Amino acid sequence: MTQISVLIVGIILIVLITWWFFGKHQVETKEAKMEQSKQIIDIKVDGGYSPEQVIVKKGIPTELRFTKLDNSSCLDHVVFPDFGINQALPQDQTTSIMLNTEESGEFEWSCGMNMFHGKLIVK
Amino acid sequence: MNLSITKRFFISLFLTFPLLVEMILMPLGWSLPGHNLIAFLLTTLIMLLSAQPFWRSAWSASKKHHANMDTLVAVGTATAYFYSIYAMLFHQPVYFESAAVVTTFVLLGQVFEERMRKQAANATEKLLKLQAKSALVWRAGQYITLPLAEIQINDQVKVLPGEKVPIDGVVIDGHSSIDESSITGESLPIEKQVDDPVIGATINTNGTLIIKVTKTQNETMLQQIVDVVKKAQVSRAPIQKLTDKVSDVFVPIVLIIAIITFLAWYLALHLPVGQSLSYSVAVIVIACPCALGLATPTALMVGTGRSAKMGILIKNGDVLEIAENIKTVVFDKTGTITQGQPLVTDVFGSNKNSIIQLAASLEQLSEHPLAKAIFNAGHDAKITTLPVNNFQSLTGIGAQGMIQDHSIVLGNNQILSSDTKISNDFIQKTVQLEAEAKTIVYLSVDAVVIGIIAIQDIPKTSSKAAIAMLKSRGIKTVMLTGDNQGVAKNIGQSVGIDQVIANVLPTEKAETIIQLQKSGTVAFVGDGINDAPALTTADLGIAMGSGSDIAIDSGDIVLVKNDLQDVTRAIEISQKTFHKIKANLFWAFIYNIIGIPIAAGVFTNSGLTLSPELAGLAMAFSSISVVFNSLLLNETRIQ
Ligand SMILES: [Cu+2]
């Protein structure tokens, strides 16, 4: 009896893991808010990025404010390959990254180990 | 509470110590008195102080449907810890030390890894440190010390012997020799005099120089180099796409394998819960997604940083893979294989000094490139030029004028068409020199040829060796030039090139490259200013700098110094970096492919098992070894 219930619990766990990590889930998206001559977005770094997807307007300087709350060494750098940026994010601090969003398109960013990803969409 | 990784490691190490001692002494029959309770207390402290951040970050990641390295450490340690509490209450064997030791080892790995990653990434910081901090700037009648940021274009700066040139500029007074190795990789000091450009962050050896500033701090060559390197270091190599896909699914799959491992041992092989769990904890702990994630970026960082130090700027990760497949290297002739500045190679006639003197006098008024060669020859022979009357430039032919009441004409063979007399000696010599692919200029005095001057754009001293180096790697070499076949062939032969394509108009270069691409991957080497279309057309564009100016925007690889041997070095270091990435990926994959089954107990029958503790150690070292292997790129020999 115990044997069968353990088996069932195991299978449920496998199904849950598959659904939770591989299933389609909505990506948290946020649009930039305007402040004087630039657009600003606050991004929380905690087990990944929130929001994970950021929409900004073309042609206006963009400031991304990363606040790192997570202790993971994965997340201690944020990398924008298209912009040549590899910025250290000190623990419990907010670090600003200025981007020149002159071209429209989708630009990925990631953590220093390329495990967590985010996307900047310039429209 | 947020402790640094190093602090967490030392706390964990200190608290784990008694447990480690017991683990070692256990086979000798010694065990901690009151083992369970002490192990429980120590491990609880470790979990709270050192392991809790893993749990926290795993939790926040999983809320976003993400899983990473921390997820594995968290699930592994939590399973061992909470099961042990349960086991302690029900008087069964406990596994506290697994949770404690794994935490210590994982943190040990992270401490090392953090240090090494910093070391791999600091190439650009090192470059920027080359910069002088201040400069002696002429302000209001005296030289005062100012920070670099306050220097403006056209400021006058004094550079004392033994000091660094603070910023890019042009010499306006004094002479000295400058060690430019920090920027260009060129080891020999370079003589500088008035009008010569100097580069910031190079070292002035023996003389005092006054320079006029030509670039602000943010536009200097050093700054441009740093920008390129920074960009290259974070660029993505195409090979990484593979690991990106794997790391997306890696952690959840490992968790599933761990569950299956537990079910197999517990249900099928009837092992007690505790032992079955310890197999699945070992699986979770040994799996290492970070080794996969670190494999490409660390090698790219070290490779691009190392090559920048040699004056070779690799602009992105794509380059590495292309360099691996290069079949043909195409060179532009002028300025790449040759000096780019014609030189007087032969003077023939009875009075050589007077020939050069008359020719140089006439040509001092002319702007033609050949004229410059003749004028320079006069300058080198320390000849004083004579005044010229009635100077007249003969388009397409040469120039004429009156010197000391004689009619002097200097030009190509068209000046012979009229009634100018020329002796047989001169005609024979002309035939011989033309066979050597030299351009001939005749000098006539009162309609009699008294001398001929041969001019040639001679190959650079490094060209022959560079081409031999490429050939020894099995790469075909091709030279493109607008010259006629005769001249082109001669130069091609003298440097040992495989194929010469002559009579190519500048606009046809790109097309010629497309033709050559039919037989394999083509690299094009040219200067960045005139050859931009060819550089972009080729699979790999290598732009050569010319002393103080580098064409940073064109080409996939930019060579800071004008040395053709750097072409081979660039290809070599790209290939080596690419091989390093492949080796890293291979080890990272193999490690997981072999490590996970061992940890799962697949080989238990043959006596090969891994405790969760050893699995933690293996995991820590697998990511360290990837970073360490990348750092070895700094030590490999490049020709
Ligand atoms: Cu790892």
Share of chain B above pLDDT 70, in %: 96
Asked whether B139 and B47 are in contact (CB, 8 A), the reply is no
* CA B154 – CA B428 distance, rounded (Å): 54
What is the H or E stretch that residue B217 is in?
A: none
Question: Who among A75, A84, A115 is closest to B230 (CB)?
Answer: A84
Same domain (yes/no): B349, B403: yes
Confidence class for position A85, pLDDT limits 50, 70, 90: confident
Residue partners of B607: CB distance under 8 A and separation at least 6: none
User: Is 60 exceeded by the pLDDT of residue A90?
Assistant: yes
Q: How many CA atoms lie within 13 A of B389 on its CB side?
A: 6
* N-term to C-term CA, chain A: 59
Please give the pLDDT value at position B142: 87
* N-term to C-term CA, chain B: 52
Determine the 3-state secondary structure of B157 from DSSP: strand
The residue from B525, B560, B595 where one domain ends is B560
Give tens-digit pLDDT for B392-448.
777 777 788 888 888 888 888 777 766 778 888 888 888 888 777 788 888 888 888
- Minimal C-alpha gap between B96 and chain A (Å): 23
The residue from B181, B196, B221 where one domain ends is B221
Confidence class for position B367, pLDDT limits 50, 70, 90: low
Please give the pLDDT value at position B368: 67
Determine the 3-state secondary structure of B540 from DSSP: strand
Give tens-digit pLDDT for B495-548.
888 988 888 877 788 888 898 888 889 999 887 666 778 888 889 989 887 655
Helices marked H in B325-423: 352-363, 369-380
Same domain (yes/no): B481, B626: no
Asked whether A114 and B585 are in contact (CB, 8 A), the reply is no
The residue from B433, B458, B483 where one domain ends is B458
Crossing angle of helices A2-22 and B240-263, rounded to 10°: 170
A11, A28, A71, A78: best mutation site toward chain B, by most B Cβ within 10 Å?
A71
**Residue whose C-alpha is closest to residue B228's, from B311, B139, B142:** B311
* Partners of residue A49 on adjacent β-strands: A45
Crossing angle of helices B565-600 and B289-309, rounded to 10°: 170
- Whether B566 is covered by a domain: the verdict is no
Question: Who among A7, A14, A52 is closest to B267 (CB)?
Answer: A7
Residues A84, B59: C-beta atoms closer than 8 Å? no
Question: Who among B59, B63, B289 is closest to A115 (CB)?
Answer: B289
Please give the pLDDT value at position B546: 65
CATH number for B333: 3.40.50.1000
What six digits make up the tokens of B132? 């002088």
Phi, psi of B411 (to 5 degrees): 180, -175
Nearest residue on chain A to B74, alpha-carbon basis: A72
Domain extent for B361: 341-458
A contact set with B (CB within 8 A): 3, 6-7, 10, 13-14, 17-18, 20-23, 25, 28, 46-48, 50, 52, 70-75, 79-81, 84-86, 91-92, 112-116
Nearest residue on chain B to A4, alpha-carbon basis: B267
User: Is 90 exceeded by the pLDDT of residue B259?
Assistant: yes
What six digits make up the tokens of A53? 């997807």
Same domain (yes/no): B92, B238: yes
**Residue whose C-alpha is closest to residue A21's, from B54, B256, B493, B238:** B256
Asked whether B469 and B639 are in contact (CB, 8 A), the reply is yes
**Residue whose C-alpha is closest to residue B220's, from B165, B168, B274, B159:** B168
Confidence class for position B261, pLDDT limits 50, 70, 90: very high
Determine the 3-state secondary structure of A84 from DSSP: coil
* CA B483 – CA B500 distance, rounded (Å): 10
Residue partners of B284: CB distance under 8 A and separation at least 6: B72, B75, B76, B79, B254, B255, B258
What six digits make up the tokens of B558? 């930019």
* CA B501 – CA B493 distance, rounded (Å): 12
* The dihedral sign for the CA sequence B87, B89, B91, B93: positive
Same domain (yes/no): B236, B120: yes
- Whether B177 is covered by a domain: the verdict is yes
Number of Cβ pairs closer than 8 Å across A and B? 118
Chain A residues close to B256, C-beta within 8 Å: 14, 17-18
Please give the pLDDT value at position B529: 67
Please give the pLDDT value at position B369: 66
B7, B48, B64: best mutation site toward chain A, by most A Cβ within 10 Å?
B64
CA of B304 to the centre of ligand 1 (A): 25
Same domain (yes/no): B52, B37: yes
Order across the sheet with A105-111: list the strands: A29-31, A53-56, A117-122, A105-111, A77-80, A85-88
Same domain (yes/no): B255, B403: no
In whole numbers, what is the pLDDT of chain A averaged over residues? 84
Give tens-digit pLDDT for B568-613.
899 999 999 999 999 999 988 888 889 999 999 888 888 888 888 8
- By CB atoms closer than 10 A (0-12, 13-18, 19+), residue A59 is exposed
- Provide the CA B555 distance to its chain's centre, in angstroms: 13
Residues B57, A46: C-beta atoms closer than 8 Å? yes
* CA B127 – CA B108 distance, rounded (Å): 30
Q: Choose the CATH number for A29-122 among 3.40.1390.20, 2.60.40.420, 3.50.50.60, 3.40.50.1370.
A: 2.60.40.420
Chain B residues close to A48, C-beta within 8 Å: 60-61, 64, 66
Asked whether B153 and B215 are in contact (CB, 8 A), the reply is yes
* CA B322 – CA A61 distance, rounded (Å): 35
Please give the pLDDT value at position B1: 55
Give tens-digit pLDDT for A3-22.
888 889 999 999 998 888 88
Q: What ipTM does the predicted assembly reach? A: 0.84
Q: How many CA atoms lie within 13 A of A1 on its CB side?
A: 0
In whole numbers, what is the pLDDT of chain B averaged over residues? 84
User: Is 60 exceeded by the pLDDT of residue A56?
Assistant: yes
- Whether B568 is covered by a domain: the verdict is no
Residues A74, B70: C-beta atoms closer than 8 Å? yes
CA of B222 to the centre of ligand 1 (A): 36
Same domain (yes/no): B316, B254: no
User: Is 90 exceeded by the pLDDT of residue B260?
Assistant: yes
Please give the pLDDT value at position B113: 78
Same domain (yes/no): B398, B543: no
- Minimal C-alpha gap between A48 and chain B (Å): 6
Same domain (yes/no): B433, B346: yes
CATH number for B453: 3.40.1110.10
- Minimal C-alpha gap between A96 and chain B (Å): 18
- Whether B178 is covered by a domain: the verdict is yes
Residue partners of B197: CB distance under 8 A and separation at least 6: B168, B169, B170, B171, B214, B547, B548, B549
Other CB atoms within 10 Å distance of the CB of residue B4: 12
What is the H or E stretch that residue A113 is in?
A: none
| Strand pairing class (B190-192; B343-349) | unpaired
CATH number for B190: 2.70.150.10
Same domain (yes/no): B117, B250: yes
- Provide the CA B611 distance to its chain's centre, in angstroms: 43
Residues A115, B69: C-beta atoms closer than 8 Å? yes
Same domain (yes/no): B346, B443: yes
User: Is 90 exceeded by the pLDDT of residue B183?
Assistant: no
Confidence class for position B38, pLDDT limits 50, 70, 90: confident
Asked whether B624 and B109 are in contact (CB, 8 A), the reply is yes
What six digits make up the tokens of B593? 């492919």
CA of B289 to the centre of ligand 1 (A): 6
What is the H or E stretch that residue B31 is in?
A: none
* CA B615 – CA B98 distance, rounded (Å): 10
Chain B residues close to A47, C-beta within 8 Å: 57-64, 66
Give tens-digit pLDDT for B5-35.
888 899 999 998 888 887 777 777 666 667 7
Residues B252, A18: C-beta atoms closer than 8 Å? yes
Domain count, chain B: 4
User: Is 90 exceeded by the pLDDT of residue B233?
Assistant: no
Residue partners of B459: CB distance under 8 A and separation at least 6: B337, B338, B339, B491, B494, B495
Determine the 3-state secondary structure of B143 from DSSP: strand
Please give the pLDDT value at position B558: 87
**Residue whose C-alpha is closest to residue B250's, from B288, B197, B300:** B288
What six digits make up the tokens of B175? 């002479």
CA of B590 to the centre of ligand 1 (A): 14
List, in sequence order, every beta strand (DSSP E) within chain A. 29-31, 33-35, 38-45, 49-50, 53-56, 62-68, 77-80, 85-88, 94-99, 105-111, 117-122
Question: Who among B57, B255, B297 is closest to A114 (CB)?
Answer: B297
Same domain (yes/no): B544, B605: no
What are the catalytic residues of B? 332
Please give the pLDDT value at position B578: 92
Chain B residues close to A113, C-beta within 8 Å: 69, 290, 293-294, 297
* CA B239 – CA B257 distance, rounded (Å): 27
- Whether B258 is covered by a domain: the verdict is yes
Q: What share of chain B is helix, strand, coil (3-state, %, to 5)?
A: 55, 20, 25
Question: Which three-class secondary structure string do you get for B582-634?
Answer: HHHHHHHHHHHHHHHHHHHCCCHHHCCCCCHHHHHHHHHHHHHHHHHHHHHHH
* The dihedral sign for the CA sequence B515, B518, B519, B522: positive
